[in-house]
Amino acid sequence: MLDIRFIRENPEAVRENIKKKFQEAKLPLVEQVLELDGKNRAAITEASELRAQRNDLSKQIGMLMGQAKKDPSKLEEAEKVKARVKANAERLAELEAQEGAFEEQIRKIMLQIPNIIDPSVPIGPDDSANVEVGRFGEPAEPDFDIPYHTEIMERFDGIDMEAAGRVSGNGFYYLMGDMARLHEAVLAYARDFMIEKGFTFCIPPFMIHGAVVEGVMSQTDMDAMMYKIEGEDLYLIGTSEHSMIGKFIDQILPEETLPQTLTSYSPCFRKEKGAHGIEERGVYRIHQFEKQEMVVVCKGEEAMDWYEKMWRFSVELFRSLDIPVRQLECCSGDLADLKVKSCDIEAWSPRQKKYFEVCSCSNMGDAQARRLKIRVKGENGKNYLPHTLNNTVVAPPRMLIAFLENNLQEDGSVRVPAALRPYMGGKEILTPKR
């Protein structure tokens, strides 16, 4: 969410930013919010003047009532002033009600106006205009066929989607045996990898209040992703950065505690609405999965440095598991409204002979902090808004697709990279049961 003062002082920049994001339907919002802001400021000014008059008029009444003891005509004057005070009080109540209504309308519109994107973001209408920045590792194309990932898992008796369908419906799965162990090994390795980078490990709440949801994501994303708990002001988290950023809601952080660097484990729950949704076979797009996340809360001038560090952490982790990856810069039309800049890390799929998304790194600027009223007390005693960033460390089972395809051997066994062996009981090879 932008600062209303920024929109007031830079309306053309806000309009141009909306055009860069190919959201022309939102252009009228700028005029609407400026008009409401003008009315609200006028109401605030008039209310302040009435409050000042109230003090002066109260003094007049006291003075006139004192004079009325000697001069009865002053009593009539006092009554006239009292009537004026009453009229002012009624008008003040009216203005205060208007202020509340204006502020609510302004906030609703402000939540829809996209954040100002970084100048380095490529301009394009959708993900087809995303730009490849770099590749890390040599994509392998083995001379044997790579089966679909669920077929690989089935050879290990490692997945049962049919049973999950009976229990929960489409978009769920049972992981079994070596596949379940591999899933947990990847998460444990990712946890320790981030701890070694200096991040504090955290297990957050898996449900959050509506005010936190509104603070961390756009309404469109919320409707498409979040599961609401019926009868309660609680939502199942779609990703753990939501509760991690929510941790600081309504807080004033001492500047010396920055940067806050946290890595969190959580299950995640998503509706996955859309044409590309849950009917896709396998475990690439599902309603429930587990994830290791990284979150940073820092000074604004440090945000871009952290952004660079964070996506490179993802590259380093995937390369340590012998998975080739590339970085893809997200274009303006592919950025969610709160994002200043974002990139995807995509893993190589030897079966498809192309890359697919496994991580997403985002710089949110001060938008989430403004929505959640997170502030930092600076050395000069003044408060300012921190910037927030988030990035996927790993999100199995999607990450398992890349792992299995890139470590599958011709005889059907799966090689376990050295970095993961301590988490797999020292195993170097996983042998299929059939």
**Separation of alpha carbons 80 and 57, rounded Å:** 11
Distance CA(238)–CA(222), nearest Å, equals 9
The CATH code belonging to domain 127-430 is 3.30.930.10
Give the pLDDT of the chain (434 residues) as one tens digit per residue: 899 999 999 999 999 999 999 999 999 999 999 999 999 999 999 988 888 887 667 666 666 666 665 567 666 666 676 777 778 888 889 898 999 999 999 999 999 999 999 999 999 999 999 999 999 999 989 999 999 999 999 999 999 999 999 999 988 999 999 999 999 999 999 999 999 999 999 999 999 999 999 999 876 777 778 899 999 999 999 998 999 999 999 999 999 999 999 999 999 999 875 434 443 568 888 899 999 999 999 999 999 999 999 999 999 999 999 999 999 999 999 999 999 999 999 999 999 999 999 999 999 999 999 999 999 999 899 999 999 999 999 998 889 999 999 999 999 999 999 999 999 999 999 999 98
Predicted pLDDT at 208? 96
What does the alpha-carbon distance between residue 179 and residue 144 come to, in Å, rounded to a whole number? 22
Q: 417 φ, ψ to 5°?
A: -60, 155
Contacts of residue 171, Cβ cutoff 8 Å, sequence gap at least 6: 272, 278, 285, 286, 287, 288
pLDDT of residue 272: 75
Residue ranges of the chain that CATH labels 3.30.930.10: 127-430
* 370-394 burial: b if 16+ Cβ within 10 Å, else e: bbbebbbeeeeeeeebbbbbbbbbb
- Going by CATH, does the domain composed of 4-110 fall within 1.10.287.40? yes
Residues 359 and 211: their CA atoms lie apart, in Å, by 26
Residue ranges of the chain assigned to CATH 1.10.287.40: 4-110
Q: Global pTM?
A: 0.89
